[in-house]
C-alpha cells in the first residue's frame, strides 16, 4: 500500500476527492472538488500525480465510476468498493467524509471490493451482455406477437412448436401482407410439422382487422432487426475471442455448456480466472456456494449469496442441461441427490460443481474427461459434430479428429 491514498466519492456531475497519508491517517487530508467533464478528469489525474498518489479507491456508483476509472487506470492502482460497505451512520453523511471513510476502511480492510477486469475483457463483457439484452428483447417480442395473434383469434402457437421458426415466420409474413384465407396460409407450413393439415387450417381460422395486420408487420420488422443485430454481435464476439479459440472449445466440451455459454463465462471470469486463487473463492464470487447465517452454532439459512448474476444465469441453465445429459457424471450425481434435496436444490448443487470445474479448466488449462457411464460412440460423434457446427456458425475454424474427443 502506497504512502498516499486518494478516496473519490463519485456522483454524476461532481467528484469529491480527498488524499490521506496512509502512515499518518489522523492528519488533515487534502480535499478538492472536481466535475466529471473530460477536462476536469485530466486535471484530477495531474493533481493526484503531483501529490504522489499511487493508490485510489472509489465507490461503484451506477455507471458513473467508469470514466474516472479509465482516466486514472494507467497512472495508479485502483480499487472499486461496493457502496453498501461504506455506509455512514444515519444523519452523518457528507460527501468529503464519505471519501475519507473510503480510505480509512480500505486501510483497515473493511471494504468489499469489486472485481474489475482488464480492457480486453471489459470489451468482451460489453458484447456478451448486449447480446443477452437483445435475446431478452426477442423473447419479449415473441410474447407480444403471440398476444396479438390471440386478439386475431389465431392459435398458431398451439400447433407449431416454434412460433418464430421457418414455418411460423412464413405464415406470419403472409398474414401481415393481407392473406386471410386459412387454407392458403396452411399451405405455407412445412411437411415436417407434427400437426395435420386440418388442425393447422382450424388454428389459422380467425378474424383479423387491418390494424392487427399492420401491427404484426411492425413486430416482424423489429424481429428482423433484432436477428440481424444478434448475428452481428455473434461475429464480433467470435472475432474478439478468436485468438483464444482453444479455451472456448475446452469449456464448450463440458456437458451442459456450449459455444455461447463458454464465451459468456470467459467474458465474465477471464481467460484463466487468475483473479481467484481457488475454486471455492471463484464459487463464492459467482454465488453458487451455500451461504451461512450462523448464530449460537446454529445455521439458520444456507441461501446462496447474490454473486455475479450473469454467471449464475449461465451456470443455472447449464446445470439443467447437464442433469439431463445421458450417461454423464453430472446426471448420475443429480439422480443421487434428487431424493434427498429435491429438484431445485439438486440442480443448484450441479451448478456449484460446474462452477468449480469451470475454474479448474480455466486456471489449469486442462480438458474435461467424462467419468460417467460409458457413452455410445454414436453419441460422442454426434456431440463432436454439433460442437463443430456451432463453432463454424460463430465464425471459428475447426476440424474434427479422434484426438480432440474426450474419452468416456
pLDDT digits (tens, 9 = 90+) for 341-388: 999 999 999 999 999 999 999 999 999 988 766 556 666 677 778 778
Evaluate if residue 291 carries a pLDDT over 80: no
Q: In angstroms, rounded to a whole number, what is the distance separating the alpha carbons of residues 101 and 243?
A: 43
Q: Are 195 and 160 in contact (CB under 8 A)?
A: yes
Evaluate if residue 186 carries a pLDDT over 70: yes
Chain center to CA of 339 = 31
Evaluate if residue 99 carries a pLDDT over 50: yes
3 state DSSP class of 61: coil
Minimum mean pLDDT range among 26-30, 41-45, 56-60, 299-303: 299-303
pLDDT, average across residues 315-327:
92
pLDDT band at 399 (very low <50, low <70, confident <90, very high): confident
Nearest to 67 by CA among 38, 103, 102: 38
Q: Which H or E element spans position 101? A: helix 95-107
Cell of 213: 395486420
pLDDT, average across residues 279-287:
92
pLDDT, average across residues 1-26:
86
Evaluate if residue 151 carries a pLDDT over 80: yes
Looking at residue 300, its pLDDT comes to 72
In terms of pLDDT, which residue wins out, 170 or 390? 170
Query: Kindly report the CA angle at 231 between 236 and 194, in degrees rounded to 5?
Result: 150
Looking at residue 305, its pLDDT comes to 79
Question: Across all residues in the chain, what is the average pLDDT?
Answer: 88
Nearest to 355 by CA among 307, 299, 387: 307
Cell of 313: 444465469
Q: How many CA atoms lie within 13 A of 288 on its CB side?
A: 30
Q: In angstroms, rounded to a whole number, what is the distance separating the alpha carbons of residues 76 and 5?
A: 10
Minimum mean pLDDT range among 42-51, 57-66, 81-90, 290-299: 290-299
Sign of CA dihedral 385, 387, 388, 394: positive
Looking at residue 383, its pLDDT comes to 72
Q: What is the DSSP letter of 86?
A: G
Burial 168-184 (b: 16+ CB within 10 A, else e): bbebbebbbeebeeeee
Find the farthest-apart pair of alpha carbons in the chain and give their distance in angstroms, rounded: 86
pLDDT band at 406 (very low <50, low <70, confident <90, very high): very low
Cell of 121: 475483457
Q: Are 148 and 157 in contact (CB under 8 A)?
A: no
Q: What is the pTM of this model?
A: 0.84
Evaluate if residue 129 carries a pLDDT over 60: yes
pLDDT band at 408 (very low <50, low <70, confident <90, very high): very low
pLDDT, average across residues 209-219:
93
Helix pair angle (245-252, 343-364), 10° resolution: 150
Q: In angstroms, rounded to a whole number, what is the distance separating the alpha carbons of residues 308 and 296?
A: 30
Looking at residue 374, its pLDDT comes to 53
Evaluate if residue 25 carries a pLDDT over 80: no
Minimum mean pLDDT range among 37-46, 278-287, 372-381: 372-381
Amino acid at each position: 500500500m502506497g504512502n498516499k491514498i486518494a478516496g473519490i466519492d463519485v456522483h454524476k456531475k461532481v467528484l469529491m476527492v480527498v488524499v490521506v497519508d496512509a502512515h499518518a491517517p489522523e492528519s488533515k487530508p487534502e480535499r478538492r472538488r472536481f466535475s466529471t467533464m473530460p477536462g476536469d478528469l485530466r486535471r484530477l489525474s495531474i493533481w493526484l500525480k503531483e501529490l504522489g498518489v499511487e493508490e485510489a479507491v472509489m465507490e461503484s456508483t451506477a455507471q458513473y465510476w467508469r470514466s474516472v476509472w479509465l482516466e486514472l487506470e494507467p497512472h495508479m492502482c485502483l480499487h472499486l468498493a461496493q457502496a453498501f460497505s461504506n455506509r455512514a451512520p444515519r444523519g452523518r453523511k457528507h460527501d468529503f467524509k464519505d471519501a475519507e471513510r473510503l480510505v480509512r476502511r480500505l486501510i483497515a480492510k473493511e471494504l468489499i471490493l469489486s472485481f474489475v477486469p482488464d480492457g480486453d475483457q471489459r470489451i468482451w463483457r460489453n458484447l456478451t451482455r448486449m447480446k443477452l439484452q437483445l435475446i431478452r428483447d426477442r423473447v419479449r417480442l415473441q410474447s407480444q406477437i403471440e398476444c396479438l395473434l390471440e386478439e386475431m383469434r389465431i392459435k398458431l402457437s398451439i400447433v407449431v412448436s416454434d412460433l418464430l421458426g421457418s414455418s411460423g415466420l412464413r405464415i406470419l409474413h403472409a398474414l401481415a401482407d393481407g392473406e386471410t384465407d386459412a387454407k392458403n396460409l396452411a399451405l405455407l407450413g412445412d411437411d415436417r410439422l407434427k400437426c395435420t393439415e386440418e388442425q393447422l387450417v382450424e388454428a389459422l381460422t380467425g378474424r383479423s382487422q387491418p390494424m392487427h395486420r399492420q401491427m404484426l408487420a411492425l413486430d416482424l420488422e423489429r424481429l428482423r432487426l433484432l436477428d440481424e443485430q444478434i448475428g452481428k454481435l455473434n461475429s464480433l464476439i467470435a472475432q474478439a475471442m478468436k485468438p483464444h479459440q482453444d479455451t472456448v472449445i475446452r469449456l464448450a466440451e463440458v456437458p451442459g455448456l456450449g459455444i455461447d455459454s463458454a464465451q459468456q463465462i470467459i467474458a465474465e471470469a477471464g481467460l484463466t480466472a487468475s483473479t481467484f486463487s481457488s475454486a471455492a473463492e471463484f464459487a463464492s464470487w459467482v454465488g453458487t456456494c451455500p451461504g451461512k447465517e450462523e448464530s449460537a452454532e446454529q445455521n439458520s439459512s444456507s441461501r446462496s449469496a447474490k454473486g455475479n448474476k450473469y454467471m449464475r444465469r449461465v451456470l443455472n441453465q447449464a446445470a439443467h442441461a447437464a442433469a439431463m445429459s445421458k450417461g454423464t457424471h453430472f446426471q448420475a450425481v443429480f439422480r443421487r441427490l434428487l431424493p434427498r434435496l429435491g429438484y431445485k436444490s439438486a440442480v443448484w448443487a450441479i451448478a456449484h460443481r460446474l462452477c468449480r470445474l469451470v475454474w479448474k479448466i480455466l486456471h489449469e488449462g486442462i480438458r474435461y474427461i467424462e467419468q460417467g457411464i460409458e457413452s455410445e460412440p454414436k453419441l460422442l460423434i454426434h456431440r463432436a459434430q454439433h460442437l463443430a457446427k456451432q463453432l463454424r456458425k460463430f465464425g471459428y475454424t475447426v476440424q474434427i479428429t479422434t484426438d480432440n474427443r474426450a474419452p468416456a
